[in-house]
């Protein structure tokens, strides 16, 4: 059934949906690590376990041919971007209630397009967080069964030698230094939960290092003391992440599990690929060719009883192109 132009055209609703998705997604930390990128195809590709940058060029003598460059040393993997779509129904009674209100149904279409786009944004945030923490994305829902492994080195996922909740005997600095050594590059940021930070504030070993003495220790040091100390020790900008997002069951949960401490090297580790939907390609929907990558939204008229379904659809996936630029510690 074609998309209606009553109250709102597909072009109008698509703009509304894209704006809502961008505003939702970009408020989360994962958006800077895996920024959205328009993809004119339905495909994604990455070098499993490869370096994020090509090797340095070599000088040559005059009359010597050019060096042949390479883009990574890992195994090239590719696949199809998976689809996602969701709709809300404007029913017969809602239409009758809004019958005499100026543009009320159109405003309801906008509201539903925004809500649907935010729902898609929430699922992408969860997928991006899984990619960062686990080095893979697992999709097992609505007939889709995919396990996309980006090939991160197994050594970059580690456990604390003694769980940090055992504040008297755990050695978090040693744990972090060991993981940083496995990462093998400078750390630009360390992401951890408020709970993990609380354990660090009360950790005996860490307090001795911060205060420079082995006895007469307080019950805890300040959060700022810990953050400043970790920064001085080469763990980059320490970020206490308390972001939450609704899961597919509507239950609110942390974007990053509270027991995970994430070391990041660099400013980004990949991208969120957003492809072209079939609805955007259909000429009758009025989406300009240059504007086709991205979410699509439109309203579908229904009969018996009369109503509308406001749909938002996308073809999208977070993809790690530098999987070995993150390392994760299970701290407690």
Q: For the domain that residue 291 is a member of, what is the CATH number?
A: 3.15.30.10
**Position 157 in a domain:** no
**Position 159 in a domain:** no
In the prediction, which pLDDT does 212 show? 97
What pairing do the DSSP bridges indicate for beta strands 36-38 and 270-274? parallel
Find the mean pLDDT for residues 115-119: 98
In the predicted model, is pLDDT for residue 101 greater than 80? no
Higher pLDDT, 96 or 143: 143
Distance (Å, whole) CA 321 – CA 51: 8
**Position 83 in a domain:** yes
**Position 281 in a domain:** yes
* Assigned token pair, 307: 């109503």
In the prediction, which pLDDT does 50 show? 55
In the prediction, which pLDDT does 307 show? 85
Confidence of residue 91 (pLDDT cuts 50, 70, 90): confident
Model confidence over 246-276: pLDDT tens digits?
999 999 999 999 999 999 999 999 999 999 9
Enclosing domain of residue 112: 3-50+77-151+270-317
* Assigned token pair, 23: 């505003």
Model confidence over 131-188: pLDDT tens digits?
999 999 999 999 999 999 999 999 999 999 999 999 999 999 999 999 999 999 999 9
**Position 139 in a domain:** yes
**Position 118 in a domain:** yes
**Position 39 in a domain:** yes
> How many structural domains does the chain have?
1
**Position 38 in a domain:** yes
Residue among 56, 34, 40 nearest 294 (CA):
40
Contacts of 94-97 with CB under 8 Å at 24 or more apart are 94/307, 95/306, 95/307, 95/308
Distance (Å, whole) CA 127 – CA 255: 10
Residue bearing tokens 């997002």 = 245
Instruction: Please give the model's pTM, rounded to 2 decimal places.
Output: 0.92
């Amino acid at each position: 059934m074609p998309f209606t132009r009553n109250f709102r055209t597909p072009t109008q609703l698509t703009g509304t949906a894209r704006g809502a998705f961008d505003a939702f997604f970009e408020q989360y930390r994962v958006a800077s690590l895996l920024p959205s990128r328009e993809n004119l195809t339905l495909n994604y590709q990455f070098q499993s376990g490869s370096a994020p940058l090509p090797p340095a060029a070599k000088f040559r003598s005059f009359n010597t041919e050019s060096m042949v460059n390479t883009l990574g040393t890992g195994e090239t993997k590719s696949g199809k971007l998976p689809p996602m779509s969701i709709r809300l129904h404007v029913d017969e009674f809602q239409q009758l209630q809004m019958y005499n209100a100026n543009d009320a149904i159109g405003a309801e279409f906008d509201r539903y397009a925004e809500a649907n786009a935010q729902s898609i944004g929430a699922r992408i945030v969860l997928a991006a967080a899984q990619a960062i923490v686990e080095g893979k994305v697992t999709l097992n829902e609505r007939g889709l069964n995919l396990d996309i492994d980006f090939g991160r080195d197994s050594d970059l996922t580690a456990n604390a030698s003694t769980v940090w909740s055992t504040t008297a005997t755990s050695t978090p600095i040693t744990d972090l230094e060991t993981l940083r050594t496995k990462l093998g590059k400078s750390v630009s940021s360390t992401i951890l939960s408020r709970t993990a930070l609380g354990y660090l504030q009360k950790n005996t070993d860490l307090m001795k290092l911060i205060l420079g003495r082995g006895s007469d220790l307080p019950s805890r040091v300040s959060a700022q003391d810990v953050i400043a100390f970790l920064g001085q020790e080469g763990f980059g900008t320490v970020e206490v992440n308390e972001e939450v997002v609704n899961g597919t069951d509507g239950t609110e949960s942390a974007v990053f599990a509270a027991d995970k401490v994430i070391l990041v090297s660099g400013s980004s580790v990949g991208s969120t690929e957003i492809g072209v939907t079939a609805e955007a390609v259909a000429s009758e929907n009025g989406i300009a060719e240059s504007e086709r990558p991205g979410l699509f939204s439109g309203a579908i008229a229904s009969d018996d009883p009369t109503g509308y379904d406001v749909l938002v659809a996308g073809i999208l996936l977070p993809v790690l192109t530098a999987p070995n630029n993150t390392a994760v510690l299970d701290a407690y």
